[in-house]
A and B are shown apart, each in its own frame.
Chain A
Amino acid sequence: MLLAFRCALVSERVAATAIEANEFPKLSQEFGVYAVPRIVVDGEPRWDGAVPEAEFLRRMLAA
Chain B
Amino acid sequence: MPLLQPEEQAKVRDWFAELERPIELLVGLGPEETPRAGSGDVDFGAEMIRVCEGLAELGDRVTYRVEEEPKGFPRFPAVSIRPDGRDVGVRYDGLPWGYELGSLVGGIVEAGREESTLRPDSLAALGEIDRDVALDVFVTPT
Please list the residues of chain A having a beta carbon within 8 angstroms of any beta carbon in chain B.
1-2, 4-28, 31, 33, 36-43, 53-54, 57, 60-61, 63
What B residues does A24 contact at CB under 8 A? 33, 35, 75, 93-94
Assembled-state Cα–Cα distance A2/B95 (Å): 17
Return chain A residues, CB-CB under 8 Å to B126: 7, 10-11, 13-14, 57
Can you offer 17 A-B residue contacts whose CB atoms are under 8 A?
A: A1-B107, A5-B110, A7-B126, A8-B88, A10-B123, A14-B132, A15-B135, A17-B134, A19-B93, A23-B33, A24-B33, A39-B138, A40-B136, A41-B135, A42-B134, A57-B126, A61-B125
Known A13-B133, A14-B133; contact A5-B111, beta-carbon cutoff 8 A: yes
- How many inter-chain contacts with C-beta < 8 Å in the A-B complex? 178
A31 to B134, CA, bound (A): 14
Q: Is the CB of A2 within 8 A of B106?
A: yes
Known contacts A2-B110, A5-B111, A57-B126: does B95 contact A16 (CB below 8 Å)? no
B131 to chain A, nearest CB (A): 7
Contact across chains for A13 and B129 when beta carbons are under 8 A apart: yes
Residues 37-65 of chain B, each 1 if its beta carbon lies under 8 Å from chain A, else 0: 00100001000000000000000000000
Best-buried of A10, A12, A23 by chain B (most CB within 10 Å): A23
Q: Which residues of chain A have C-beta atoms less than 8 A from B44's C-beta?
A: 23
Assess whether A21 is in contact with B89, with CB atoms less than 8 Å apart: no
Answer whether A18 and B125 are a contact pair too, CB < 8 Å, given A8-B89, A8-B135, A9-B90: no
Contact in complex: A19, B39 (CB < 8 Å)? no
B36 adjacent to chain A (CB < 8 Å) = yes
Given A11-B129, A18-B91, A42-B133, are A36 and B123 neighbors across the interface (CB < 8 Å)?
A: no
